[in-house]
Every structure is written in structure tokens, then in C-alpha cells.
Amino acid sequence: MTCTEYQSVLPFIIESGGSATEEDHLKTCKVCSDLVADLHYIAEAAKLLVPMEEPSGRVWDGIQKSLEREGLARPAGTRKGLQGFHAVLWIFAFAAVVQFVSW
């Protein structure tokens, strides 16, 4: 088996292992064994890559704005503001009813 022949099937046997002929070539050929060692090394090194990067605050801002635009959420702080506003409305309404009844 030549290097060209071995390397043409390598994508399909690198994980599972090849036939006896292919394995024999790998054992005796420095070029192909170095290549396979490198490819395994790259695959192993990639597994060790951990999530290092953190998204900027722009991402969360975008999420908030999109949800607000779609009506699924409203800007922070408006809840308390609206609760206060509603309370004032209720007081006014109650006062109006009391005044109307007493009149």
C-alpha cells in the first residue's frame, strides 16, 4: 500500500481504525504515522479548548430591547413606577366616589 492510497482512506478510518493492510502501512511508514499522530494531537488539543470569551453587555441590552419591542417585557423600573401610578389613580377614584356619595 502506498502513502497516497493510505491517505485517501484516512478520513474514514482515522477514528475507527483501518484494515490489516492499512494498519500495516501505518506501522511501517513514518510519513503516515507522523501525519496520524499530528491529526490526533490536533483533535485532542481541540477538546481542551474551554469557553474563554464572555459576550459584552451589548448582548444583554439587545435581548432586553428585542423583548421589549415584541411586547414580552418592558423596561426595568417601569413596574414600580406603574404600580405607584395605579395606586394614585385608585386614591383619586376612591376620593371621587366618596365625594359623590356625600354630595
Estimate the crossing angle of helix 20-28 against helix 3-13, to 10 degrees: 120
Determine the residue type at 39.
Answer: L
Site for other proteins in 37-66 (CB under 8 A): 37-39, 41-43, 45-64, 66
102 lines the binding site for other proteins (CB under 8 A): no
CA–CA dist 67, 61 (Å, integer):
10
Name the residue nearer to other proteins (CB basis): 24 or 81.
81
Distance CA 56, CA 77 (A): 22
Number of residues interacting with other proteins: please give it, by CB under 8 A. Answer: 50
Binding site for other proteins (CB under 8 A): 3-4, 7, 10-12, 14, 30-32, 34-35, 37-39, 41-43, 45-64, 66-68, 71-79
